[in-house]
Amino acid sequence: MDTALVRQWYSTHQRDLPWRAEGISAWQILTSEVMLQQTPVARVIPAWQAWCERWPDAHSLSKASLGEVLSQWNRLGYPRRAKNMHQTAQIVAKDYGGELPRDVEALETLPGIGTYTARAIACFAYGVPVPVVDTNVKRVVARVEDGDQAAGHWSVGFGLDRVDQVSATGSATDYCQTQRGLMELGALVCTARSPKCGQCPLQHSCRWKAEGYPEDPSVKPRVQARYEGSDRQVRGIILGWLRDNPESLERDTLESLWPQATQRMRAVESLVRDGLIQRDSRADGEERFSLSWQQPGRGE
């Protein structure tokens, strides 16, 4: 693969995203990466800007209550991401002096940071030449190099090795710029459906195109789980009420939020189990539920 062409294309066609601006910290890049999991870019931009204005670093976020964090997260979805960010902020503030570690292995020990996110921080924030492999990157490399439609059969280890082989030319700066370019190319041009091959800088060397775009029978259209009526919807309704109402959620109000008792309590129990809401048992035996508005104590 001619990675110089990828870097040249990226320098001209990259999107103007706020977390790519000069002076953006590693912590703020992490915030964007976490928010972008499962959430479209257009929704993330204003949420990221508001979040970083309120909590620009790990120290400031570590001092917030979980209730404040979940309220600011609002309706980005999958709120465990916010809880993980809160926990990570407390660890980074306490153990790393407020600065995210540069080492991939150390990053992977932090809550909610997996293989992809750890390498994205190391590469994009610190310039460490490590492969950053998401579905976009896999798709571009598989099509151009192997003639495969989507690389669905790649294991994590194989994907890291394969992308590293393609990228390992030039300086560390070139390596990291190649990761950015491959990711952007997959997001904008070499898309899963209706790729814009005429706009691709690699069209003349793409094996998948040369072989007539063979379809991979193992690639099936992704079926989005129905949200309406799902436990996710019920969880979202309950969290939404608690974000807007700092007082405890009483049984009568809880019942008014969702009519089906079994599903309602299943959602409540899962929120308690995930540590997103807390159960308050009263002297009269009645249970209430709330977000935690308690500020973290020293050392937490």
pLDDT digits (tens, 9 = 90+) for 60-82: 999 999 999 999 999 899 999 99
| Measured distance CA(88)–CA(189) in Å, rounded | 34
Q: Is 33 a catalytic residue?
A: yes
Calculate mean pLDDT across residues 187-214. 95
Res. 142: pLDDT tops 80: yes
| Measured distance CA(52)–CA(26) in Å, rounded | 12
Calculate mean pLDDT across residues 101-123. 96
Res. 299: pLDDT tops 50: no
Calculate mean pLDDT across residues 93-122. 96
Calculate mean pLDDT across residues 84-111. 96
Q: Residue holding tokens 């590469």?
A: 123
| Measured distance CA(96)–CA(288) in Å, rounded | 37
Other CB atoms within 10 A of residue 194 CB:
6
Q: What is the pLDDT of residue 263?
A: 93
**What are the distances in angstroms from CA 77 to CA 7, 18, 97, 253, 269?**
33, 21, 30, 23, 18
Q: Which of the residues 33, 68, 145, 184 is marked catalytic?
A: 33
Q: What is the pLDDT of residue 86?
A: 97
Q: What is the pLDDT of residue 150?
A: 84
Calculate mean pLDDT across residues 220-229. 74
Tokens of 171: 């300086």
Decide: 291 and 262 in contact? Cβ < 8 Å.
no
Q: What is the pLDDT of residue 219?
A: 65
| Measured distance CA(174)–CA(7) in Å, rounded | 8
Q: Inter-axis angle of helices 261-273 and 231-244, to 10 degrees?
A: 70
Calculate mean pLDDT across residues 238-262. 87
Confidence band, pLDDT 50/70/90 cuts, at residue 236: very high
Shortest CA distance to 293 belongs to which of 249, 235, 247? 247
Confidence band, pLDDT 50/70/90 cuts, at residue 13: very high
Res. 170: pLDDT tops 90: no
Q: Residue holding tokens 């390596």?
A: 175
Tokens of 204: 């003349």
Share of the chain above pLDDT 90, in %: 75
Confidence band, pLDDT 50/70/90 cuts, at residue 283: low
Res. 185: pLDDT tops 60: yes
Decide: 29 and 121 in contact? Cβ < 8 Å.
yes
Q: What is the SS3 assignment for 279?
A: strand
Whole-number average pLDDT of the chain: 92
With vertex at residue 295, the alpha carbon angle to CA 293 and CA 297, rounded to the nearest 5 degrees, is: 145
